[in-house]
Amino acid sequence: MQFGIFTVSDITQDPTTGRTPTEAERIKATVAIAKHAEEVGLDVFALGEHHNPPFWSSSPTTTLAYIAGQTTTLQLSTATTLITTNDPVKIAEDYAMLQHVSDGRADLMLGRGNTGPVYPWFGKDIRQGLPLAVENYELLHRLWREDVVDWSGKFRTPLQGFTSTPRPLDGVPPFVWHGSIRTPEVAEQAAFYGDGFFANHIFWPASHTQRMIALYRQRFEHHGHGTAAQAIVGLGGQVFMRRNSQDAVRDFRPYFDNAPVYGHGPSLEEFTQQTPLTVGSPQEVIDKTLGFRDYVGDYQRQLFLIDHAGLPLQTVLEQLDLLGEVVAVLREEFEKGRPAEVPDAPTHAALVRAKYGTEAPRQATPNANRGDNLTVGSPYQDTATVDAPANPAGSAFGPAAIRQGATR
């Protein structure tokens, strides 16, 4: 089982000092947090994607690649990658590249996001959010598994003989989690493809998360990917710890009360009673987290949110020190009674073994004789000799137009 942290990359005023960090300070703090997560023995660091203040993480792959260069074991993921407003071709390219530079320590969580205005910012219609998620992932799934793709759909221009580059490391695509707070269709999509399902699990009561996970497990089995117990499940969580619970409640209360997401709503006590938020001692975090298994079954990944709402860097690093102790206990306790059929969390090495067995992995070589992005070759070659596909859309940048000198 994997344990880690995720960040939503908010830049929030510290309510105890009145100071708001700069973007540069928050970005550098996030890198320090990721590095310390590896140092205390955590497995995963996941970064959200946002394109609006007060968040800074508009380019997760850039940040994760930088972190990859300064870590050795940390699995790098997202929380989430916007499948609705990002071009699937760009997702395919960016995350395959992250795979290569991290030596396979990369996966991603796809989601629709929670910021409505992002849709028109990227030329999309929020009313088409679910159809966009379905169509875009269908294309992304193919781009990573087929060297040459012919494709047409409703929401983007067609592709003719297209090859995304670089090809996935060892010919094995990054593992995909589909993340959702409340949408059953996302659970169905994850189950249909046999991918992982990540329940955000920090705002809703246990009964809601239980229903979502049960649906995903049932449909995973229905689509023939294995038994319900073999479905790949991840959960979010949210903690704040001190050595004793009274200090934790006292220290966290001003941050909770002023947090942009849930501040000025239910009390801290009400929220911790009704949701997975745990504010207390390390033992209280252990007890509550172990209780998650009672209603979702054995699962593969547990991520905690620990750095939001204006908490200063030093406090977050202290939280990581405590979380390292907590995770050491959780690893041991979660293994007790874990059925043999329950799989481990997917890693690149495990996916390579599943594909090749004892054979050596084979890196795909793109077919240089096909592909809109490969066929024409050098702009200085004799274009009259190029055997390029037709250009039915009549694009000024297609092969036919190049033959006519339209793009000189």
Mean pLDDT of 280-298: 97
Handedness of CA 110, 347, 170, 63 (dihedral sign): positive
SS3 244: coil
Q: Are residues 82 and 203 in the same domain?
A: yes
In this structure, are strands 159-162 and 149-151 parallel, antiparallel, or unpaired?
Answer: antiparallel
Same domain? 348 vs 405: no
Residue 397 lies in a domain: yes
Q: Are residues 6 and 66 in the same domain?
A: yes
Co-location of 208 and 168 in the same domain: yes
- Domain shared by 267 and 385, yes or no: no
Is 51 inside any structural domain? yes
Looking at per-residue pLDDT, the higher value among 358 and 399 belongs to 358
Residue 162 vs residue 398, higher pLDDT: 162
Strands 301-305 and 233-241: parallel
In a domain, residue 363? The reply is: no
| Structure confidence at residue 382 (pLDDT) | 38
d(CA 303, CA 282): 16
pTM of the model: 0.87
- Whole-angstrom Cα distance, residue 284 to residue 296? 19
E-assigned strands of 268-392? Answer: 278-280, 301-305
User: Does residue 370 lie within any of the structural domains?
Assistant: no
- In this predicted structure, the answer to whether residue 346 has a pLDDT above a threshold of 50 is yes
Residues 158 and 77 in one domain: yes
Identify whether residues 344 and 400 lie together within a single domain: no
Share of the chain above pLDDT 70, in %: 88
Binning pLDDT at 50, 70 and 90, where does residue 367 land? Answer: low
Residues 263 and 391 in one domain: no
φ/ψ of 122, rounded to 5, equals -110, 20
* Helix (DSSP H) and strand (DSSP E) numbers for the chain: 14, 12
* Same domain (yes/no): 244, 384: no
Q: Are the C-beta atoms of 401 and 391 separated by less than 8 Å?
A: yes
Reduced to 3 states (helix: H, G, I; strand: E, B; else coil), residue 301 is: strand
pLDDT at 123 over 60: yes
Confidence of residue 62 (pLDDT cuts 50, 70, 90): very high
Beta strands in 8-52 (DSSP E): 44-47
Residue type, 171: G
The reply to whether 180 falls in a domain is: yes
**Residues 200-217 pLDDT 10s:** 888 778 999 999 999 999
User: pLDDT value at position 15?
Assistant: 96
- The torsion angle over the Cα atoms of residues 211, 212, 214 and 215, rounded to 10 degrees, is 110
Distance between CA atoms of residues 310 and 389, nearest Å:
55
- Beta carbons of 386 and 377 less than 8 angstroms apart: yes
CA distance 407 to 276: 57
Query: What's the CATH code of the domain at 251?
Result: 3.20.20.30
How far apart are the C-alpha atoms of 303 and 44, rounded to whole Å?
Answer: 8
212 lies in the same domain as 315 = yes
Q: Residue 389 belongs to what domain range? A: 375-408
pLDDT at position 36 over 60: yes
Tell me the C-alpha distance between 382 and 398, whole Å. 16
pLDDT score at 387? 36
Pair 26, 151 in one domain: yes
- For residues 288 and 395, state if they share a domain: no
Beta bridge partners of 178: 110, 197
- Give a yes or no: residue 297 inside a domain: yes
Extract the tokens encoding 100.
Answer: 């290569």
- The band of 149, judged by pLDDT with boundaries at 50, 70 and 90, is very high
d(CA 286, CA 332): 11
State the Cα angle at 42 between 54 and 275, rounded to 5°.
Answer: 55
Number of structural domains (the chain) is 2
Q: For residues 336 and 298, what is the distance between their CA atoms, to the nearest angstrom?
A: 10
pLDDT of residue 117: 80
